[in-house]
Amino acid sequence: MAVSFDDERRVFFISTQNTSYQIRINEYGMLLHSYYGALVGKADMSYLIKEVDRGFSGNLYESADRRGLSPDTLPLEYGTYGSGDYRVSAIKTVLENGSRTLDLRYASHRIGHGRQAIRNLPYVRDDGRTDVLEIELEDRISGIRVILIYNVFEDKDIITRSARIINGSENSVSLIKAASMSMDIQNRHMDLIHFHGRHAMERITERSALGHGVYTVGSKRGQSSHHNNPFVILCDRHADENFGDCFGFMLMYSGNHAEEIELDQTGSVRVVSGISSEGFEWKLGAGESFDTPEVIMAYSGEGFNGLSHLYHRIIRENVCPARFRDKKRPVLINNWEGTYFDFTEKDILEIADAAADAGCGMLVLDDGWFGIRNNDKSGLGDWFVNKDKLPGGLKAIADHTGKLGMSFGLWIEPEMISEDSMLYREHPEWVLKDPDRDPVVARDQLVLNMSDHEVVDYLYGCISGILDSAEISYIKWDFNRSLANVYSSVTRADMQGEVSHSFVLGTYELLERIGAAYPDVMIEGCAGGGGRFDAGMLFYCPQIWCSDNTDAINRLIIQKGTSYGYPVCTMGSHVSISPNHQTGRETPLVTRAIVAMSGTFGYELDPRKLDDNEKNEIRQQIAIYERYCDLICNGRYYRLTGDEDEKCYTAWEIVAGDRSEALISIVVTDMKGNQELPFLKLKGLDPEASYVIDGVMSSAYELPGAAKDETEHADRVYMGKALMHGGLTLDPLYGQYPAMQLHLKNTVAKNDVMD
């Protein structure tokens, strides 16, 4: 098994294929974190723990003569508040008598095979090879117990952590902080990488050296947010894409979250991840329990690319719904940027005809098809067809697309409501709203109270009615504002601190029910683009609209940041028109396609407005994507360029699992006169194999009078080790944001091999 316990040394050993994780119980029942990193087998790493007397760091009462044995300085596995550990805590409680002290000590443990689902929450699915460790801690005075749960995916080098908090007393307890995990990494000079942003510019990579104090990344917007993704990386100062120790912590949660990182007085780093404690309070009656969301932990000594591959695999194979894992997703066209709200049934049918002619496999009808919805000021909540716009209803469109050999998809925004709607006039009590206070309004909409089961039942009835009315195979599930005025009219005053978390649970329940009732309907997550791009949503939705920003050059930044934790197959990415609606930038159609192909490929435009040349280009692009879609969705993704390169160009590579082929993409973002040649060191190839290189598509402009390079890559065969160690020098790329895509194919040809 991947988990074992040494009774004599009182050490837990967790092993994956390439990593080790160790926990020690000391003689006072304190649970200490010994080690997480490269595989060390059964070598007891607790020798790394040193007891040092540090001033103003208190001791356990029963060990007062050992001043170095302090909760404030030892590497704890789950830090508590009030018992002498002054660092960021993982759990805070308030007892009935007002006490906030919690002192958790080891009580028991269980080692087993096969994980259990987390009640009402997403989780990393069992693949039949999962081992589990549960360590029960207890506060002997209050009776509060915490079960730390470790699920070990041995062959995938993944460990997940969550906690179950149990009120074992006869009195009620208030839980005011309930993190999923805490871990102390000893004696390391580390950098923090996190992924910040804003609407239309999500998951921008930011790296900073950790200084002393507490660094918090999080959201209190009721969603994981555009602004701080619930995924952080801690790495050695020298780590880069291909080398160095990297630790990843990804929270599977779509609501308020906090990742707290502290460099303490000893030079150790503590990371705590879980639900944000701000505004959170959960009442636990006698015998009641609370389950925290799961954190996906990974370690790689092979840099950020190595860490990314671990996350990409576990999300593809164990997080996303299995029924869509190997299902080929059609190239879709969405009408939003083509028409916005201004469309008729005739328009949509014409768009379908033009899209089918170009080779698209799905038409998605976006916002504006329901209620009285001619702009974003009304209609949300009224989930019935606007017969003035669509006299034939959804069925007429679905039937038409079906005859064209296309499937049909639909946009909805279930969790939202407009004040100007029939639903609000009938049920104003269903919104999140403080009593006697005007609500915060965003995008002219309010938020439904998803913590109310009556609301969830209503929405399920609406959505199931829509899905039953026509042949619909896809839903784009949107969420276009942050939460505020988080107050539920059906919740007791002393339990309002539970509403924000219960809201997320209500959304998960609705997604679960829809998925169970309509297993063939694929749901694409969306929250104004990437406002809920997290592993929690991916449990229900195998892809998420990456950003409302469809500008190809901005998308390079957004999709690169996303790729550190999330695989290409989860990123909704479309080709839109030029000039782009968000930035006004003009970009070649080929460049837009190359960028969008590093995602779930599609189009966001009105195909009726394309000229014949553009239509032919789109046909070719779709044919190329169809040819390489399995490689793109399931291959290993490598970021090939760093910050210095990306002042001029950005490049990435996708390599087949058997290393038989690879796809290389490069986009020039800053054209300079007499430019340096683009140079790439490829990754992940078979070093002993021979590869032939063919051009797939290019938007490069050939300068008049330029000498032609007679050594075309297509005429040469290269050894994998040459391409990885020596690299590949490309010809100059000229023009306005030129881009190129190259295909490498493993060949048995022996002539003209460049080694």
DSSP letter assigned to residue 63: G
Catalytic residue among 126, 350, 419, 614: 614
The answer to whether the beta carbons of residues 656 and 709 sit under 8 Å apart is no
Please give the backbone phi and psi of residue 233, each rounded to the nearest 5 degrees, phi first.
-125, 135
Alpha-carbon gap, residue 46 to 186, rounded angstroms:
11
Angle between helical axes of 589-596 and 552-563 (0-180°, round to 10)? 10
Please give the backbone phi and psi of residue 464, each rounded to the nearest 5 degrees, phi first.
-65, -35
Does 614 participate in catalysis according to the annotation? yes
Alpha-carbon gap, residue 458 to 7, rounded angstroms:
54
Please, which residues have CB within 8 angstroms of residue 151's CB and are 6 or more apart in sequence?
115, 124, 126, 130, 131, 132, 159, 160, 294
Alpha-carbon gap, residue 725 to 714, rounded angstroms:
20
The answer to whether the beta carbons of residues 601 and 331 sit under 8 Å apart is yes
Alpha helices (H) in 482-611, listed in sequence order: 499-517, 535-538, 552-563, 589-596
Alpha-carbon gap, residue 178 to 89, rounded angstroms:
9
Helix (H) or strand (E) holding 12: strand 11-15
Alpha-carbon gap, residue 462 to 472, rounded angstroms:
14
Looking at this protein, which amino acid is placed at residue 201? M
Alpha-carbon gap, residue 367 to 375, rounded angstroms:
9
Q: What is the DSSP string of 675-732?
A: PPPPEE---S--TTSEEEEEEEEE-PPPPTTPPPPS--GGG-EEEHHIIIII-EEPPP
The residue ranges of DSSP E strands in 360-423, in sequence order, are 362-365, 407-412, 416-417
Closest CA to 632 of 241, 203, 328: 328
List residues bridging with 334 in a β-sheet.
364, 604
Alpha-carbon gap, residue 231 to 195, rounded angstroms:
7
In Å, what is the CA distance from 489 to each residue of 451, 493, 738? 10, 9, 56
Angle between helical axes of 612-634 and 589-596 (0-180°, round to 10)? 20
Alpha-carbon gap, residue 754 to 750, rounded angstroms:
10
Question: Strand 201-209 vs strand 19-25: parallel, antiparallel, or unpaired?
Answer: unpaired
Alpha-carbon gap, residue 533 to 739, rounded angstroms:
27
The answer to whether the beta carbons of residues 432 and 449 sit under 8 Å apart is yes
Does 551 participate in catalysis according to the annotation? no
Task: Write down how long the chain is.
Answer: 755
Catalytic residue among 139, 260, 382, 534: 534
Is residue 384 helix, strand or coil? Answer: coil
Please, which residues have CB within 8 angstroms of residue 392's CB and are 6 or more apart in sequence?
345
Closest CA to 161 of 54, 28, 298: 298
The residue ranges of DSSP E strands in 454-583, in sequence order, are 474-477, 522-525, 543-545, 571-576
In Å, what is the CA distance from 92 to each residue of 59, 108, 136, 439, 473? 20, 22, 17, 31, 45
The residue ranges of DSSP E strands in 314-359, in sequence order, are 332-334
Burial class (CB in 10 A: 0-12, 13-18, 19+), 278: middle
By annotation, the residues acting in catalysis are: 534, 614
